């Protein structure tokens, strides 16, 4: 029997990354094994070292912007992740909840929940979540101590295990995390926007045959090859002292009629104030062989302008996927 495909996600269990992995690949079965990685770096290493076939990693949030840990690992300044490419994406609508230790009595009403708010003196969550719930926090928890933790699931675990029966501590996490850790959801939908969405990238090792053909493995199917758009992610570094160097690099994408969907930058760490740029572009679907030539032509042109450049993968636009 063929070994099951191994899919890692940014842990611990019951994190939003876990939810995205479940939605993308399905629950554990004889064909798929899901397992957590304790850090972004560990998830990348699992792919590079072929200890996992795919990784599901947060890339950006519609409310709070890009996830810099992912960008820094894609920048690969030390050459540790040279075989990692993006092969898919998943959009997860994020619902944040205010979570406390499970009470010994039955659940309170929403009105009763606000009374409990007054007793809370400390909050836990992942740093990204604070910026997604500022309206709620500003209304009910202005001046209350905030403690950063490694994940929203970890925050739920902390409050579920403490001996605080008076609910002096609370977590911001998902209902899945509350259920998994046996905690109590005091208030749902505390995010600032109902359309709060996190985009996850699905990574693979391009040198591994086990992870080829990702579209047939995902729990989603494309509309049709004709209508599903594709995205490509390319990183490059320019000579900042050359006037117009960035404009010249971006003109390559315009020349190939590409719609730039995002531009990010991170310090190069080669010298101060030099940056690695990440350009994500949208283009019409083409057969796989043409995709390779397409990106090869772009990289050749960028190579004449930039100090370095790298193709980080081509995949079907997640908004063109249906469950």
How many C-alpha atoms does 8 have within 13 Å on its Cβ side? 24
Spell out the domain ranges in the chain.
1-94+192-206, 97-187, 227-323
- If one looks up domain 1-94+192-206 in CATH, what number appears? 3.40.190.10
> The whole model's pTM is what?
0.86
Lowest-confidence pick of 49-63, 215-229, 259-273, 279-293: 215-229
Tokens of 192: 């600032």
Residues 68, 89: Cα–Cα separation, whole Å = 17
Span 4-12, average pLDDT: 92
Sequential DSSP letters for 203-255: EEETT-STT--GGGTSS-EES-TTT--EEEEEEEE--TTSTTHHHHHHHHHHH
Domain 227-323 part of CATH 3.30.70.260: yes
Residues 176, 46: Cα–Cα separation, whole Å = 25
Residue 56, pLDDT > 50, answer yes
Q: 10 Å Cβ neighbour count for 60?
A: 19
pLDDT at residue 200, as a whole number: 97
Homologous superfamily of 97-187: Periplasmic binding protein-like II (3.40.190.10)
pLDDT digits (tens, 9 = 90+) for 254-275: 999 899 999 999 999 999 999 9
Percent of the chain predicted with pLDDT > 70:
87
What does the angle CA 222 – CA 33 – CA 232 come to, to the nearest 5 degrees? 35
pLDDT at residue 6, as a whole number: 95
Q: What is the DSSP letter of 264?
A: E
pLDDT digits (tens, 9 = 90+) for 172-188: 999 999 999 999 999 99
pLDDT at residue 211, as a whole number: 77
Question: Is residue 229 packed enough to be buried (19+ CB in 10 Å), middle (13-18) or exposed (0-12)?
Answer: middle
Residue of higher predicted confidence among 286 and 190: 190
pLDDT at residue 31, as a whole number: 85
pLDDT at residue 164, as a whole number: 63
Residues 279, 246: Cα–Cα separation, whole Å = 11
Q: Is the separation of the CB atoms in 295 and 232 below 8 Å?
A: yes
Helices (H), the chain: 16-25, 40-48, 68-75, 110-117, 127-130, 134-140, 152-161, 175-181, 245-255, 288-303
Question: Is residue 44 packed enough to be buried (19+ CB in 10 Å), middle (13-18) or exposed (0-12)?
Answer: buried
Tokens of 296: 């090869």
Residue 216, pLDDT > 70, answer no
pLDDT digits (tens, 9 = 90+) for 91-141: 999 999 999 998 765 444 444 577 889 999 999 999 989 999 999 999 999
Residue 25, pLDDT > 80, answer yes
Lowest-confidence pick of 109-113, 276-280, 286-290: 109-113
Residues 279, 261: Cα–Cα separation, whole Å = 8
pLDDT at residue 110, as a whole number: 43
pLDDT at residue 210, as a whole number: 81
How many C-alpha atoms does 131 have within 13 Å on its Cβ side? 12
pLDDT at residue 98, as a whole number: 97
For residue 39, which phi and psi values (nearest 5 degrees)?
A: -150, 165
Span 203-225, average pLDDT: 69
pLDDT at residue 109, as a whole number: 41
Residues 19, 22: Cα–Cα separation, whole Å = 5
Please determine whether the domains at 1-94+192-206 and 97-187 fall in the same fold group of CATH: yes
Q: How confident is the model at residue 319 (pLDDT cuts 50, 70, 90)?
A: confident
Span 315-319, average pLDDT: 90
The candidate with the shortest Cα–Cα distance to 202, out of 322, 47, 75, is: 47
- To the nearest whole number, what is the mean pLDDT of the chain? 88
Tokens of 219: 């729990």
């Amino acid at each position: 029997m063929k070994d099951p495909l191994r899919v890692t996600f940014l842990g611990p269990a019951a994190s939003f990354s876990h939810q995205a992995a479940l939605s993308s690949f399905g629950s554990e079965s004889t064909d798929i094994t899901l397992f957590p990685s304790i850090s972004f770096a560990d998830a990348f290493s699992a792919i590079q070292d072929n200890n996992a076939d795919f990784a599901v990693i947060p890339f950006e949030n519609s409310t709070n912007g890009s996830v810099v840990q992912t960008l820094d690992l894609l920048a690969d300044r030390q050459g540790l992740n040279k075989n990692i490419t993006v092969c898919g994406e998943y959009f997860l609508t994020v619902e944040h909840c205010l979570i406390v230790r499970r009470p010994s009595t039955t659940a309170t009403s929403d009105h009763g929940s606000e009374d409990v708010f007054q007793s809370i003196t400390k909050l836990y969550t992942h740093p990204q979540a604070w910026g997604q719930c500022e309206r709620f926090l500003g209304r009910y928890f202005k001046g209350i101590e905030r403690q950063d933790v490694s994940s929203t699931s970890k925050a739920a675990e902390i409050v579920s295990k403490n001996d605080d029966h008076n609910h002096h501590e609370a977590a911001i996490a998902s209902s899945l995390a509350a259920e998994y850790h046996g905690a109590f959801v005091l208030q749902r939908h505390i995010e600032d926007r109902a359309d709060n969405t996190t985009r996850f990238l699905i990574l693979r090792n391009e040198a591994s045959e086990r992870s080829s053909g990702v579209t047939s493995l995902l729990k989603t199917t494309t509309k049709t090859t004709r209508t599903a758009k594709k995205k490509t992610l390319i990183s490059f570094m320019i000579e900042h002292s050359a006037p117009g160097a960035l404009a010249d690099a971006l003109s390559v994408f315009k020349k190939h009629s590409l719609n730039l969907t995002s531009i990010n930058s991170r310090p190069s760490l080669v010298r101060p104030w030099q940056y690695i740029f990440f350009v994500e572009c949208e283009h019409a679907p083409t057969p796989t062989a043409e995709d390779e030539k397409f990106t090869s032509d772009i990289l050749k042109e960028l190579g004449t302008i930039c100090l370095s450049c790298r193709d980080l993968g081509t995949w079907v636009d997640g908004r063109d996927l249906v469950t």
